Structure 1
Amino acid sequence: MSSLSIPYEKAGVPLHDQPPSVDAPTSSSRLWTWASPITFRYSRFMSWRKNTLGLTNPGKIEDLQKEVKSTHLTNFIFDGARADLTKGLSMNPAFQVTHSFSLASQTNPSQYNFGAIFASNKVFMQGNVDHEGNISSRFNYGWTPSSVTKMQAQIASSPVGHSMLQVEQDHQGSDYSWNLKTVNPSPTDLSGLYVGSYLQSVTKNLALGCETLYHSALLPGQPSDFSTSFLAKYAAKEWIATAQLQPAGILQATYWHKLGEKLEVAADLQVIVSPFRRDAVATVGARYNLRTATFRAQLDSSGKVSALLEQQLAPTFAFLVAGEIDHVKTTSKVGVGIMIESNSLQAEETGLPSPSPY
């Protein structure tokens, strides 16, 4: 063996005085030498973004207006009579079934719905079937706490009904969120609806993003639809403001403010400015959380006044009263409902202490 093959550190030569290696550079070493300035600057940029800017995750894109929707009555108002009976069959994993009844509604026919929910640390499954045979289901699988695959399906019992399949992937990074979604995709001609959205925190409070929609033509000769919306969210300590600018001159802006531990207020403004239509609707609402009740009230610029009271009369029994008055159309709606929860579990299964025999 020649002296050149003897390691210099064994020969007593300091590392900083060693000559460069005489080995011929490999393709991987040349690639690393070319890419090292880029990787160095990228590492410096990521370190500066994390340590200096202090960016946080902006939240899920589908939850951009979550606080406003939980304050307003859009997803809670009802009329007629309704009853929800829920029975818990297991705590870990969670498994429960629900029987829902609705009667004498002015807008919807009377119906019965049976639903079941199963939830564990990674899996969430929900299924519903009504008295006409319409089926809807949801399935979520969490690969990691920040990456979730979701599927939704709806099967209509009649040919004129709307059947639907939706598949999406949701991911939340340290300071960003993105979502990919497809609705009724066809593997043969790739027709369907495709949506991609991205939301990035640019400061501690401000996040900006966009959502792109592509609707492939169902029939030959029909034009495909391609559009992009822009999103903005500003989250302070006690208030959140959002804005969404959609194609064709549609703007939606929301504002939510927590005035105290029990009181929340929210406002929503939708503006349409297009060559064919000019319209605007403003909605304000409040939510007041009492010790055993929740009261919501809402007023919009179209003349509608709505209110909903949910009174918890017992740990497993709640009574609901809803009302809406349309001053422009001179119409009104009233709804009453009950929610009953029960379980067939023993005390040790629910985690509660067993009652004393004395």
Structure 2
Amino acid sequence: MGNVIAASQKSSAKIEDKINVSTLPPDPPVNMGLESRLNSDIYLGSTPSSFTEANLEDSQIGTIQSPGTVEDLHKKCKDLFPSVFEGAKLIVSNGINNHFQLSHTFTLSSEGGSGYRFGGTYVGTKMIGPNEAYPILQGDIDPRGNINSTVIHQFGPKLTSRLSVQIQNGKLSASQLTNDYKGDNCTCSLALANLDISKRAGVFVAHYLQSVSSNLALGSELVYQCGRNVPGGEMTMLSAVARYSLGDIVVSGALGAESIHTYYYQKVNEELQVGVELETNYSLKGSTLSVGYQYDLPVTDTCFRGTIDSNGTVGAVLEKKLNPLPFTFLLSGVMSHKQKQFKLGCGLIIG
């Protein structure tokens, strides 16, 4: 479903960007991956991949399964694109026990992101699967008292709820409540974000995704936004979504009144995966093409992710495990040929 929290509300042409873009980094699951550890702050509305109910790789071929959520519709392709960063980062994580983990994140950056954050993750004892347990409580805080927190719980075999809150400068700056219902061959999701009854402001999102066959899933997305900063006081956007999977190939997309977004993913072999993202905006009369890939070298415990887009931006992240020590070294670089800028970052994960 993505984040429905918008930092700015300028025009109806930008409503899709407002709904899907957040300034916060992703959630760190308990069994932290490299990128999720590196970006250890919490994304409002994001669910840790290790606890996500919808796992398409576990679907049985030839059998109609639950299609997962619309939020994860393009997940396979999006995961290939690197999370580039600038400056230096040090992340120290410590697992207290099987249910509780602490993390310390030190960041040094010229872009204003320097500082320290303390984070914690608790996973309950309600086991749903081998890598899935509830409730999940996540949060982090910086020395100025800014807090990000997320609570995820499964109330039944088919209903999962998630509440995310962000507090900045002593005030509630963002909030989001999401409920996902997973049927035998369909999924329904409802989200309510930044609700302010006194100002008559908020964002409502409804998703429906249906498995038509073992390979094809079709659905729709309805977004309603109201508030003083919204042109006309309110706006509504309806989109059609689809995903077609065939073996190691997944094609997905979303078609709206003002834009079309398509994704292509393919697992070439055990080492190489590629993905293509194409976004076309009718009102702006422009398109952006991005190509991403991931190359794994299991022998050397190295993972390389890279991307290039039609705007002339090239980025890459190298992740290297320093076995037998519990260290992971990261090297990031991004170059913008249009702006003639180059940014370099390095990081170390301990734990």
Shorter-chain-normalised TM-score: which range? 0.7 to 0.9
**Matched residues in 2 for 1:170 and 1:98: separation?**
29
Provide closer, same or farther for how the CA distance between residues 98 and 204 of structure 1 changes in structure 2, counting only shifts above 3 A.
same
**Matched residues in 1 for 2:333 and 2:229: separation?**
45
SS at structure 1 position matched to 2:76: helix
Task: State the match for 1:34 in structure 2.
Answer: none
Amino acid at match of 2:72: D
**Matched residues in 2 for 1:219 and 1:117: separation?**
35
Q: Structure 1 residue 210 and structure 2 residue 229: aligned?
A: no
Q: Structure 1 residue 85 and structure 2 residue 92: aligned?
A: yes
Task: State the match for 1:50 in structure 2.
Answer: none
**Matched residues in 2 for 1:118 and 1:325: separation?**
38
Q: Structure 1 residue 316 and structure 2 residue 326: aligned?
A: yes
Task: State the match for 1:102 in structure 2.
Answer: 107
| Contact 1:153/1:164 (<8 A) preserved | yes
Deviation per CA, 1:87-137: give whole Å up to 9, x if none: 11011xx210111111033x3331211110001222001001123321110
| Contact 2:203/2:223 (<8 A) preserved | yes
Match of 2:254 among 228, 238, 244: 244
Deviation per CA, 1:156-188: give whole Å up to 9, x if none: 1167xx711111111111111110000122456
Amino acid at match of 2:314: V
Provide closer, same or farther for how the CA distance between residues 257 and 221 of structure 1 changes in structure 2, counting only shifts above 3 A.
closer
1:271-310 to structure 2, matched below 5 A, reads 271-274=280-283, 277-291=284-298, 292-310=301-319
Task: State the match for 2:174 in structure 1.
Answer: 164
Task: State the match for 1:133 in structure 2.
Answer: 145
**Matched residues in 1 for 2:329 and 2:230: separation?**
54
Provide closer, same or farther for how the CA distance between residues 144 and 279 of structure 1 changes in structure 2, counting only shifts above 3 A.
same
The runs of 5 or more residues in structure 1 that have no matched partner are 1-52, 342-358
Provide closer, same or farther for how the CA distance between residues 54 and 190 of structure 1 changes in structure 2, counting only shifts above 3 A.
farther
Deviation per CA, 1:55-83: give whole Å up to 9, x if none: 2211222111111121012xx21010001
SS at structure 1 position matched to 2:71: helix
| Contact 1:206/1:235 (<8 A) preserved | yes
Give the alignment's TM-score, normalised by structure 2: 0.75
Task: State the match for 1:257 in structure 2.
Answer: 266
Task: State the match for 1:113 in structure 2.
Answer: 117
1:251 CA displacement: 1.0
**Matched residues in 1 for 2:348 and 2:162: separation?**
31
Task: State the match for 1:225 in structure 2.
Answer: 235
Amino acid at match of 2:93: T
Task: State the match for 1:334 in structure 2.
Answer: 344
Deviation per CA, 1:230-279: give whole Å up to 9, x if none: 111111110111111123x21110011001112110010111111xx211
Provide closer, same or farther for how the CA distance between residues 260 and 129 of structure 1 changes in structure 2, counting only shifts above 3 A.
same
Q: Structure 1 residue 154 and structure 2 residue 166: aligned?
A: yes
1:320 CA displacement: 0.3
1:2-41 to structure 2, matched below 5 A, reads none
Task: State the match for 1:123 in structure 2.
Answer: 135
Amino acid at match of 2:136: F
Amino acid at match of 2:116: Y
1:330 CA displacement: 1.4
| Contact 1:122/1:143 (<8 A) preserved | no
| Contact 1:152/1:165 (<8 A) preserved | yes
**Matched residues in 1 for 2:297 and 2:231: separation?**
58
Amino acid at match of 1:67: K
| Contact 2:151/2:162 (<8 A) preserved | yes
Give the alignment's TM-score, normalised by structure 1: 0.74
1:213 CA displacement: 1.0
SS at structure 2 position matched to 1:90: coil
Q: Structure 1 residue 59 and structure 2 residue 63: aligned?
A: no
**Matched residues in 1 for 2:63 and 2:113: separation?**
52
Amino acid at match of 2:295: Y
SS at structure 1 position matched to 2:322: strand
- Identify the structure with bigger relative contact order (alpha carbons < 8 Å, sequence gap 6+): 2
**Matched residues in 2 for 1:108 and 1:260: separation?**
40
| Contact 2:199/2:228 (<8 A) preserved | no
Aligned residues: 279
Amino acid at match of 1:98: S
| Contact 1:192/1:218 (<8 A) preserved | no
**Matched residues in 1 for 2:326 and 2:213: separation?**
44
Deviation per CA, 1:288-317: give whole Å up to 9, x if none: 111211111111111111111000002511
